[in-house]
Structure 1
Amino acid sequence: MLRSYMAQARKIDAATPDSRNREVDFLRAAAITVVVLGHWTIIAVSSTGGIEPHGLLDEARWTHPLSWVFQVMPIFFLVGGYSNALSWRSARRKNVGYAEWLRARLRRLGLPLIPLLLVWLLTCIIALSFGAEPAAVQLASQMALVPTWFLAAYLLVAIVAPPCLVLWENWGWWSIVLGIAAAGIIDVISITTGNILAGYPNYLLVWASFHQFGYAWLDGRLSSLKRCLLLFAIGALELGLLVGLGPYPVSMITAGTDAISNSAPTRVTMAFLGMAQAGIVLMLQRPLAALLRSPGLWMLTVLVNQRIMTWFLWHLTALTALAHVLLALDAEALLPTPLTGVWWLTRPLWCLALLAITGILVVIFGRFESAQSDDRPAPPVWMPILAAAAICAGLAIMADVGMVNASGVTWIWPLLPLVGMIVFGVVKLPRRRSYRD
């Protein structure tokens, strides 16, 4: 088996063009994997407390500084900026328009959502029909759909990626500085008034601004050690000042004990965290590139990227399912009290069990990432934009409140992305065949 794996690895390695930036693929896979493992650790499950979404952060404040390392969503937006700029420039050279380009991005990101939303919609209906408490079903669906907040934010950034690239090409660093400054103003308004909704524009402003560091990377503007060090220093210094002087909390992941969240809604602190992280990973680019010349590591990177959306979207469904089974069986021996010595010692086994369940889900639903080629004519611009708006709206609401309320299933939110993808042309419907007599 090992010999076969290595033979396949060497084949994939040889087929990879020299022009491909392997570090981009590796960082994308690594960032999502860190997020998955972080979620599996942060969420505490016990026979006494049930499922605690922020269990580790709420019960152990010493873990909050660790979130500066494990909150790696900025890295995903960094590689997203690199990839989107590369893709859009390629589209421009081939005379592919914005509408066709955006529809292709929506298909890549949106189609893997379809089975997740349908499975959870059916699960909620069945659970409620068998007498499950609406509050319990609401929490389960909300937890399982937490990954969708990131997808909603990323889709928003994808919509504006081409015009933002124009800003970068014309204004350079000022396009980033002005965007982050605007995000800071939004934070001031939101925090001083206590209005969380006023901070929602920063889901777009912060991530779209930081996303442009990926453009800088692609254009070689972050290739020198000096610039990477400067990027790290600016990010670390500003983040330290914002947290040290307040009112931003230490934890970069939402904790129930904090009055303000750095990530829900996204705050300007996330941009500076991303700058510090980007400075570090880009300083390591050359040794990482050399490491990725290993066929075995490169093949693993390729395999993860082939099913990265499925891996990300279903990992909390695996946790929610396992947690409810163990709680229903009253398996106290398998649910040690969080933060005890036994709990820490069993975390590797817990993650391995969840990895196995997630692996099964990836095998079942991963095919939705292998969409058929789309040879349809370019749509009107408004169609993919409305499709993206429908997807983002539904996902944002479900990531916050799930699919259920006190009255039952809230049909509109899971159906909105699904109907939006069908009506506005993201889903490629089968053509009707015409037969002549």
Structure 2
Amino acid sequence: MENNTMSIWSQASQLAAQTPENRNRYVDFLRALSIMFVISGHWLITTGHYLPASGDIQPILALEVMPWTQWLTWGFQVMPIFFIVGGYSNAISLESAQRKQLSYAQWLATRLHRLLTPLLLLVLFWVLLSFGLGMSSAKPETIRFLSRAALVPTWFLAIYTMIVLLAPAAHRLWRRWGMPSLFGFIALAALTDIAFFVLDWRWAGWTNYFWVWLAMHHLGFAWRDGRLGGTLAMLGLAALGLAALVALIFIGPYPLAMAGSPGEAVSNTLPPKVTLVALGLFQFGLLMAIEKPLQRWLSRLRVWTACVLVNSMIMTIYLWHMTVLLVVLAAGWFLDGFGFHTAPGGADWWATRPVWLALLTVLLVPLALLLSPLERVSRPADAPLPAAWRLVGGAILAGAGITLATLLGFDGAVASLKTTGTIALILGGGWLAGLAPPLPKRG
């Protein structure tokens, strides 16, 4: 294992040394940083407490038992940054595709391959595990809880896949209208919230999955084109975002937590609210204000090698981190609550958090090393190119299946219509999108 790790570090170091001078290393750094924050946040807020009377481990959400931790979500909710980074990366990819005169289908097939291929393995693993648990007489509600918790990371891929479908059109909109197009998406997000709260059009709130994240994605276009200004301008952007966020929460109808809202009738994330735009502007402004010194830091070979290494397995790390957490909870249950006797929230519990995070990291790293090659496998050059309608339709079906899996989970019953329907959507969508060979033609 040690030799394998050294070999992987050596390969990453070689790639790092070959990095072109014109590459914006800060983009890769923010991608890695945002995912690390998401994973750490999930691991901190999700834990368990052993109940001797029943012999069970009760799942605990720190945001519920320690309401003050809701403030921490202002730092750990960094999905706006990930969408901004996605916008920057997609802009580069689209510019390259335009130079090479690639079609929409050629561009999209490659992007979907990278997004959906690692995801299918996670889904198949939990499908098989849920069926196995079902045959072992585990309770359906237990199986649903476990699978839903494990698939929490996939909600992001569902909406990000939809944003990727729209990226070429959004990029053309940016090229034509520039900053007004960004302001337009922010305005649509705000108007949607007005309809949600004032007119009680709750259904309209779900459209903010597009307006909020397209706004953040568009901000990545602005970054790519150098339309953001210098350090003072970015500090001003951060101040504006923070002022808007404070006003929306303490004067407006929005809850404090930026990741789930325990005990609240309204959530900032389900569906997204304009508060996430304000949070994204605040975080992004601060990060842009310190870009220059961090760019110099990233020029160091060892630092940049670490960044390259994390980015080479970033999808695997993100997708499997909750599965690792659930494995540890299950192990604690088998070991009569070992490690979970301390009630969450006390000084002793907080003192053990570094050990908790270190344990989960130690378990996740070898899993990532084992599975991450899947996300680095390029789409075969001779693979048949699906028509654009197949790619779009497949991505939509897969996205719908991912959403259902996140909301409903799997119940372990082979004959369950919910489970089989969800699986059919994900696998069928993946096949339509070209992630499996086309069916042979008759005759």
Q: What is the TM-score with the length of structure 2 in the denominator?
A: 0.91
1:422 aligns with 2:405: no
Which of 45, 66, 70 is the equivalent residue of 1:42? Answer: 45
Task: For 2:369, give the aligned amino acid.
Answer: V
Shift of 1:110: 0.3
Report which stretch shifted further, 123-132 or 330-339: 330-339
Select 2:406's aligned residue among 366, 390, 399. 399
Q: Tell me if structure 1 keeps the 8 A contact 2:398–2:427.
A: yes
2:23 is aligned to 20
1:332 positional shift: 4.3
2:141, 2:256 → 1: CA distance? 30
**TM-fit CA distance, 1:377:** 5.2
* More moved, 27-36 vs 411-420: 411-420
Distance 2:57 2:197 in 1: 32
Superposition pairs for residues 50-199 of structure 1, below 5 Å? 50-52=57-59, 55-192=61-198, 196-199=202-205
Distance 1:198 1:335, change over 3 A: farther
Q: Distance in 2 between matches of 1:278 and 1:154?
A: 19
- Calculate the TM-score normalised by the size of structure 1: 0.93
SS in 2 for 1:263: coil
Distance 2:420 2:40 in 1: 31
Assess if the C-alpha contact under 8 Å between 1:404 and 1:410 holds in 2.
Answer: yes
Change (3 A) 1:161 1:423: closer
1:203-225 deviations in whole A, cap 9, x for unaligned?
11110111111111110112412
Corresponding residue for residue 390 of structure 1: 397
The separation in 2 between residues aligned to 1:156 and 1:193, in whole angstroms, is 27
The 8 Å contact of residues 135 and 405 in structure 1, kept in 2 or not, is answered as no
Distance 1:285 1:67 in 2: 23
Q: 1:117 to 1:191 in 2, by over 3 A?
A: same
Change (3 A) 1:119 1:194: farther
Contact map agreement 1:374 1:428 (CA 8 A) in 2:
no
- Residue of 234, 241, 244 corresponding to 2:247: 241
Q: Deviations along 1:263-290, whole A, 9 cap, x unmatched?
A: 1111111011101111011111101100
- Following the alignment from structure 1 to structure 2, what is the Cα–Cα distance between the partners of residues 50 and 199? 36
Contact 1:384 1:426 in 2 (8 A): no
Corresponding letter in the other structure for 1:35: V
The answer to whether 1:252 aligns with 2:258 is yes
Aligned to 1:342: 348
- Say whether the 8 Å CA contact 1:115–1:365 is kept in structure 2: no
Identity %: 37
Partners of 1:223 and 1:320 lie apart in 2 by 44
- In structure 2, the residue matched to 1:283 is 289
Worse-matched range after superposition: 170-179 or 407-416: 407-416
**Secondary structure in 1 aligned to 2:48?**
strand
- Contact 1:234–1:276 (CA<8 Å) still a contact in 2? yes
**Separation (CA, whole Å) in 2 of partners of 1:291 and 1:211:** 26
The answer to whether the 8 A contact 1:180-1:268 is kept is: yes
Q: Distance in 1 between matches of 2:211 and 2:6?
A: 49
Shift of residue 368 of structure 1? Answer: 1.6
* Contact in 2 for aligned 1:217/1:223 (Cα 8 Å): no
Using the TM superposition, give the Cα deviation of residue 345 of structure 1 relative to its aligned residue in structure 2, in angstroms: 1.2
Alpha-carbon offset, residue 404 of structure 1: 2.2
Instruction: Single out whichever of 278-287 and 40-49 deviates more from structure 2.
Output: 40-49
Q: CA deviation at 1:67?
A: 1.0
Rounded Cα–Cα distance in structure 2 between residues aligned with 1:153 and 1:203: 7
User: Secondary structure of the equivalent of 1:111?
Assistant: helix
The residue identity in structure 1 corresponding to 2:410 is M
- Of 37-46 and 405-414, more deviation after overlay is shown by 405-414
Q: What's the counterpart of residue 435 of structure 1? A: none
Q: Deviations over 1:315-340 (max 9, x none)?
A: 00001111022123322444421112
Larger CA deviation: 423-432 vs 37-46: 423-432
Q: More deviation in 350-359 or 278-287? A: 350-359
Q: 1:225 aligns with which of 231, 245, 250?
A: 231
Deviations 1:51-108 (A, max 9, x none): 436x111111211122111111111111111000110111011001111111111100
Letter in 2 for 1:47: Y
User: Which residue of the other structure, out of 381, 389, 413, is the alignment partner of 2:422?
Assistant: 413
**How far does residue 424 in structure 1 lie from its aligned partner after superposition?**
3.4
Query: 2: distance between equivalents of 1:8 and 1:129?
Result: 43
Q: Which runs of 5+ in 2 are unaligned?
A: none
One-letter identity of the residue aligned with 2:31: R
Q: Secondary structure in 1 aligned to 2:281?
A: helix
Partner SS state of residue 411, structure 1: helix
Aligned to 1:297: 303
After superposition, the CA RMSD in angstroms is 2.4
Match of 2:280 among 242, 257, 274: 274
Would you say how many aligned residue pairs link Structure 1 and Structure 2? 431
Which digits, 9 at most, give the CA deviation of each residue in 1:183-202, with x for residues without a partner?
A: 12222223346565431111
**Contact 2:343/2:349, CA 8 A, preserved across alignment:** yes
Cα distance in 2 between the residues matched to 1:149 and 1:64: 21
Structure 1 distance, partners of 2:328, 2:183, is 45
Unaligned runs of 5+ in 1: 433-437
The structural deviation recorded for 1:370 is 2.1
Quote the Cα distance in structure 1 between the aligned partners of 2:339 and 2:100.
60
